[in-house]
Each structure stands twice: as structure tokens, then as C-alpha cells.
């Protein structure tokens, strides 16, 4: 399963965890890819482990676009800190997603929960 890292994930954090040389090898072999959120339209991420970091700065439309990219056998992690949002209060896609998620639990979504634009 390949990892996709989107938005503003700090590569230096990955370097600290696995080392600069190992990270370079993983990036060159496409085991780890860094894809800006803006370039994810039109792709489906099957068999991937995906991290969207700094999601407090994503709009509701970007979060919706992001979650509809999920393909079979993929896992998504969305992180963010609403206190550090650069987006006007109550306009953050992360805030919107949190308000609409079931309280106090992880949310597991399945294929019928997503409708792709055609």
C-alpha cells in the first residue's frame, strides 16, 4: 500500500522519522508521493494510505473533493487544528466535517457513502 501525503505535510517531519536517505528512496519508487490538494481532482486513490495534513485550511469543497477520491482498500487520515486556521471562522472544511461526523468516534465510510461527479 503506497502512501499519499497531501497539502502542507512537512517532509522534514518524515525525514526525522525514517531518515532523509530512506525517504528519498521511498519517494523515487513512488511508495511515498506528495500531492498538493489542488492537484487531486480526477484521480482515484485505490490501495493507498493517505494523509491530509493542515486540513483546517481546506474549504468544505476541498474536503468533499478529497474524500471522494478514496478508492478500494484505502485509508484516510485527516489532521488539523481549528485554532490555527487561516480561513474565516466557520468556513473551514475541517470544521464542517467535524460538525457532521458522529460525536466521539472514528468514522468509517464505505463505497455507498460516496457519490462521484460524472
Q: Is residue 55 part of a domain?
A: yes
Q: Which helix (H) or strand (E) holds 93?
A: helix 93-100
> What pTM did the predictor assign?
0.71
Q: Give the total number of structural domains in the chain.
A: 1
Convert the pLDDT of each residue in 49-84 to its tens digit.
888 888 888 999 998 888 888 888 888 888 888 888
Q: Is residue 118 part of a domain?
A: no
Q: Is residue 72 part of a domain?
A: yes
Q: Is residue 90 part of a domain?
A: yes
Q: Residue 45 is part of a domain; what is its CATH number?
A: 3.40.50
Q: Is residue 84 part of a domain?
A: yes
- Confidence band (pLDDT; 50, 70, 90) for 21? very high
CA 36 → CA 4, 6, 8, 49, distances in Å?
10, 5, 8, 15
- Rounded Cα distance between 25 and 33, Å, is 11
Q: Is residue 61 part of a domain?
A: yes
Q: Domain range holding 35?
A: 2-113
Mean pLDDT, all residues of the chain: 77
Contacts of 23-26 with CB under 8 Å at 24 or more apart are none
For residue 116, the model assigns a pLDDT of 47
Q: Is residue 57 part of a domain?
A: yes
For residue 3, the model assigns a pLDDT of 57
For residue 8, the model assigns a pLDDT of 46
Amino acid at each position: 500500500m503506497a502512501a499519499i501525503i497531501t497539502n502542507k505535510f512537512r517532509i522534514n517531519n518524515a525525514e526525522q522519522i525514517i531518515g532523509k536517505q530512506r525517504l528519498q528512496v521511498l519517494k523515487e519508487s513512488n511508495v511515498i508521493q506528495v500531492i498538493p490538494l489542488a492537484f487531486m481532482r480526477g484521480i482515484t486513490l485505490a490501495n493507498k494510505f493517505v494523509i491530509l495534513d493542515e486540513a483546517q485550511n481546506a474549504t468544505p469543497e476541498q474536503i468533499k473533493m478529497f474524500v471522494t477520491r478514496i478508492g478500494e482498500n484505502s485509508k484516510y487520515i485527516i489532521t488539523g487544528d481549528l485554532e490555527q486556521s487561516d480561513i474565516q471562522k466557520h468556513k473551514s472544511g475541517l470544521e464542517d466535517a467535524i460538525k457532521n461526523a458522529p460525536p466521539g468516534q472514528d468514522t468509517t465510510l464505505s463505497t455507498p457513502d460516496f457519490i462521484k461527479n460524472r
